[in-house]
A and B are shown apart, each in its own frame.
Chain A
């Protein structure tokens, strides 16, 4: 560590990796301001120097003539993500609290087995689930509806919520529960008034994972919704499959990932704060 070359090596590695990480965003950003002239002649990077920037791509996605609408898919994605995350957080927190605080025993099944059941659902490949879901939603008339998509998305998110929250609740002293009960709270009041308010860091992390995996889901939306309910990833991929109007695709892609990048900026502050306070101790 004391070698003089070490800082050089360190910041070179960081810089290289940072370039790799940022590269696709840079490419999408610069491409979104091109038109056919900026794309056809080969790769170009710098506006004004190498190509004449236009906003045609951005105009296309916000309802310009001959463009595609991203606002409705955006809205659909938002509704599905928020609804499925909310349901998963509520059901997941309740279940995680039960698994953290009470002992269950049903034959050979114990708490850890129930936790494993929840978490193990993450191993389920979406493609295995999607065909049965297709028929299930068809029979129940929920195919191509927001509600149908929310229900199947809960299956993706609930395990994550349980996984994060069991761990978090285990870190809250049981004495807090006991004290709340002594102070006159029934079990449910105890959870709502004493435990939940102290679980904000855990809930934030769980919510972040739920929103990320909910927003980024493509496969379920792709096979279970079509015309009525198109989500944002679907809309972007649809652009990709036609003859590439790269500028529109880039603009739509950036628009599609922007909400979560903003979320990352906000949540990282929260994450590292919690981590650091735990580390400094």
Chain B
């Protein structure tokens, strides 16, 4: 037993230390820099107290981007969950060509978001893209997808749903495939219909997988910025700006390093708190439904 105790750290430490070293420096640096006035004309670690944080409190563009992110992430993840669950249910058991559908439905999550965003930009092009072309064929008016704030948000959400519903699909399909058979047999013997079986058996059994899948997707969605950069560049104006993208503008393009450090930390803490609360709420909500 002694010999085992000595070995266990040798397994754990290489990975743990590597990650800790890679992560800790950026965190410490960001904390320190957030109290400095480091910017493009003054690139040094002086100390200006909480001035960056005070400025941030009055930066309505930052807070708007946070609100927008919460709505965007919540909305797209909800849509992804509904569609992903629906599709998983459809190709779960008997379905013609289910192997083909399974592969096809997984493909988008394997593709590079920025590259696909570039393709989507063509697709949403106001005069040359296929979306408006199809709308025209249906006799509808063309929509200025990427140049008006409402449609731009719709376009962004479409891209997110396209890209990441497959991830939901994958997790939920794996969950469905590992469900025990007995409860379904029992439901069938009881003569429960499809809807009743879903509500009383499938959905409660899938609750843990559902919560996990939703949390994982919310975590990834909270970082949304790449596709914004390519698809709309945050525009029109700042209508589709997310914190990730705004931080890119402040910190990297305009090199307001100190200020962006303060916002980075605030963004990170807000996301951690929000996700923790959401995780707890989801766990509770699903448990209640499962019990009824």
- CB contacts (< 8 Å) of B132 on chain A: these are 43
Q: Of B53-61, B114-122, B201-209, which stretch is located at the interface?
A: B114-122
Q: Which of B93-131 contact A (CB under 8 A)?
A: 95-96, 99, 101-116, 118-123, 127-130
Which of B5, B226, B260 has the most A CB atoms < 10 Å from its CB?
A: B226
- CB contacts (< 8 Å) of A218 on chain B: these are 112-114, 226
Shortest A172–chain B CB gap in Å is 15
Which of A39, A104, A249, A272 has the most B CB atoms < 10 Å from its CB?
A: A272
Bound-state CA distance A199–B227 (Å) is 35
A275 touches B15 (CB 8 A): no
Is B240's beta carbon under 8 Å from chain A? no
- CB contacts (< 8 Å) of A92 on chain B: these are 15
Nearest opposing residue in chain B for A221, CB measure: B114
Q: Of B25-33, B148-156, B283-291, which stretch is located at the interface?
A: B25-33
- CB contacts (< 8 Å) of A244 on chain B: these are 122
- CB contacts (< 8 Å) of A196 on chain B: these are none
Is A60's beta carbon under 8 Å from chain B? no
State whether A250 and B119 are in contact (beta carbons under 8 Å apart), knowing that A11-B96, A43-B133, A130-B252 are contacts in the complex. yes
Minimum-distance CB pairs A-B, first 4:
A95-B15, A98-B11, A132-B26, A43-B133
Given contacts A131-B26, A257-B111, could you give 19 more A-B pairs where the C-beta distance is less than 8 Å?
A18-B101, A24-B120, A24-B123, A91-B15, A94-B12, A102-B8, A102-B11, A125-B222, A125-B223, A127-B247, A129-B23, A133-B26, A151-B22, A155-B19, A216-B114, A219-B225, A223-B252, A240-B118, A268-B102
- CB contacts (< 8 Å) of B108 on chain A: these are 21
Is B62's beta carbon under 8 Å from chain A? no
B267 touches A128 (CB 8 A): yes
- CB contacts (< 8 Å) of B133 on chain A: these are 42-43
Q: Which of A1-18 contact B (CB under 8 A)?
A: 1, 6, 10-11, 13-14, 17-18
B261 touches A131 (CB 8 A): yes
Question: Would you give the 0/1 interface string for B220-264, flagging 1 where the beta carbon is closer than 8 Å to chain A?
Answer: 101101100010000000000001100110011000010011001
Interface size class of A (residues with CB under 8 A): 35 or more
Is B275's beta carbon under 8 Å from chain A? yes
Contact of A268 among B7, B30, B103, B251 (CB under 8 A): B103
Shortest A198–chain B CB gap in Å is 17
B162 touches A20 (CB 8 A): yes
B4 touches A158 (CB 8 A): no
A240 touches B230 (CB 8 A): yes
16 residue pairs bridging A and B, Cβ less than 8 Å apart: A10-B90, A14-B87, A18-B105, A98-B11, A99-B12, A104-B12, A123-B272, A128-B267, A129-B26, A152-B22, A188-B10, A212-B110, A244-B122, A257-B115, A263-B110, A275-B173
A31 touches B271 (CB 8 A): no
B14 touches A94 (CB 8 A): yes
Is B75's beta carbon under 8 Å from chain A? no
- CB contacts (< 8 Å) of A272 on chain B: these are 99, 102, 177
Is B40's beta carbon under 8 Å from chain A? no
Shortest B206–chain A CB gap in Å is 14
Is B16's beta carbon under 8 Å from chain A? yes
Bound-state CA distance A268–B99 (Å) is 9
Is B91's beta carbon under 8 Å from chain A? yes
Shortest A49–chain B CB gap in Å is 15
Shortest B148–chain A CB gap in Å is 20
- CB contacts (< 8 Å) of B230 on chain A: these are 237, 240
B130 touches A128 (CB 8 A): no
